[in-house]
Amino acid sequence: MEIRMAGVTKTFGEDITALEDVFLNVPKGDFVYLVGPTGSGKTTLLRILNRELLPTRGQVFVGEYNLRKLRRTRVCQYRRAVGMVFQDYRLLEDRTALENVAFVLEAVGASRKEAIDRAGEVLDCVGMWRRRFLYPRELSGGEQQRVSIARSIANDPLLLLCDEPTGNLDPQTAGEIMQLLLSINASGTTLIMATHNRYLVDAYRQRVVELKMGRIVRDQERGRYEVDEEL
Amino acid sequence: MRSFSFAVRDTVRLIRRSPGISGLTFLTVLVVFFFVGCSFLLALNTRHVISVVEGELVVQAYLQPKADLGGLAKKVEKMPHVTGVRPISPEQALELLKARLGNQSAAVTLLGENPLPASLEVRVDKASSVSGIARELVAMPEVEDVVYAGKVAEKLARLSRFAEVFSLFLLVFAGLAGALVLYNTIRVAIYSRKQEIEVMLLVGAMPGFVALPFVLLGLFWGLTGTIAASAVLGVLYKSFVASVQNTLPFIQLVDSPQLYLKLALVLIGGGISLSWLCSWVAVEKHIAEAMKPS
């Protein structure tokens, strides 16, 4: 899914500007890191793309969808094409890993059997098949994040939004998650990942968009976490 | 169909997951609809007592000496609001007078020829109709005079109107109170699954799909609570009627199989409708808020 943001500004209340005059184009199938200090607007940008927030000014197009003018039923259609990985996983505590993934599939119209089969497949993809009957409280942070990723890719989304998916993980697990996201991106899914993980950004070089005080201050192909001195 | 089976499973899961809340909700619905039923019975009995008293009200129409008693009785019977007409011939009137005088009935013989006129005893459906019927009767050429308890009829008509308004108010009030309790109980259930609803909406579930388990949950509570309320109320009312008949036999309470059927239908029908409405409004409100981008 292609993303086009033009002059996007988002303010909260009268004096908090989370994003200011953001212009961003992301071609279909691209992988983009969103970097920047806390409060720079990364999560706001992702939430706008997930249509949880509306921009105060500016236009946002994702594929065929104009996010400013979506009706309720179109929002549902849009969200079926978008996966979101949350920093805090947002898994349902009273459901097993398998049920956490299957329930979103049932929620979008799959039969019970189809949902269970597909959930098993994606859990296998993220290396969680053997732990599919465990509840979130019985899983480590990395495992919960894997289940969260499995849930977000179960619908075969065209756009995957990841908000600090490795935020609570050790370097090795973070690396594994990163490999997983790259393989999802390789299958054609556009991927936007907000991160503070300097090591990952530098190790797996992709396009880097840096935000500061709500503005894009750098947009660099195959960039590093910080400004690449070599360029 | 898939959505419905998911919703049914989800509803069962919700009931099982929090048996405490489910039990409390069931009790709440039971108690609320028990009081709705009490209001219904109170209203029904108030109207019954008043209609019994109203049924006792009669308009006595005295006829001209040569009037056709039978013909006029048939004519009056066809008038609107008239529920019964009893023609009384002069001979019957004399017999009635003798009976009323008892052991002094011999005094009647002093009258010589029977001076009493033929009359009609007209019963009406409600007190407010009495004055109108009396006016129509007095306007008839065959009628010489009309006697009726005008003041009593007026007071009774006022009481009847008040009872109607009061019973309507009571039912509406009880219904609203029930709706409010159900609405808030379902909101608590929704709140306890706030995260789940948010996640469902975030992954693209249709609002109707998200709402269905809560609507089914509301219907389940409404149905089971009102069935239990009908049963408890039926049993208690039957024993109450029996004890009133023993201690205060002059008070006639409504008591028939049709009443119990009506009571159950009103409570269960009202419970299902109210719970459907309340759960739908509560969950739709929550979904609208959750889906509204800030």
pTM of structure: 0.69
Rounded Cα distance, B230 and B33, in Å? 8
pLDDT in tens, A207-229: 999 999 999 999 988 888 887 55
Top mean-pLDDT range of A117-121, B3-7, B137-141: A117-121
pLDDT in tens, B149-176: 767 767 777 877 787 788 788 778 877 8
Helix (H, G, I), strand (E, B) or coil at B204: coil
Given a contact cutoff of 8 angstroms between Cβ atoms, the answer to whether B170 and B75 are in contact is: no
Given a contact cutoff of 8 angstroms between Cβ atoms, the answer to whether B138 and B32 are in contact is: no
Nearest-CB residue to A90 (from B2, B195, B204):
B195
B258: Cβ–Cβ under 8 A, 6 or more apart, which residues?
Answer: none
pLDDT for residue B1: 62
Rounded Cα distance, B269 and B261, in Å? 12
Q: Which residue has the higher pLDDT, B36 or A48?
A: A48
Split at pLDDT 50, 70, 90, the class of B2 is: low
In A, which residues are within 8 Å of B200 by CB distance?
Answer: 103-104, 107
Q: Which residue has the higher pLDDT, B234 or B48?
A: B234
Residue from A62, A79, A101, A118 whose CB has the most chain B CBs within 10 Å, to mutate? A79
Residue from A16, A56, A94, A106 whose CB has the most chain B CBs within 10 Å, to mutate? A106
pLDDT tens-digit profile, chain A (231 residues)? 899 999 999 999 888 899 999 999 999 999 999 999 998 999 999 999 999 999 999 999 999 999 988 888 888 889 888 999 988 888 888 889 999 999 888 887 788 899 999 999 989 888 899 999 999 999 998 899 889 989 988 888 899 999 988 877 778 878 888 888 898 899 999 999 999 989 999 999 999 999 999 999 999 888 888 875 555
B200: Cβ–Cβ under 8 A, 6 or more apart, which residues?
Answer: A103, A104, A107, B209, B210
Report chain B's mean pLDDT, rounded to a whole number: 83
| pLDDT > 70: percent of chain B | 97
pLDDT for residue B186: 79
Rounded Cα distance, A89 and A146, in Å? 9
Task: Using CB atoms within 10 Å of the CB of residue A39, give its burial: 0 to 12 exposed, 13 to 18 middle, 19+ buried.
Answer: middle
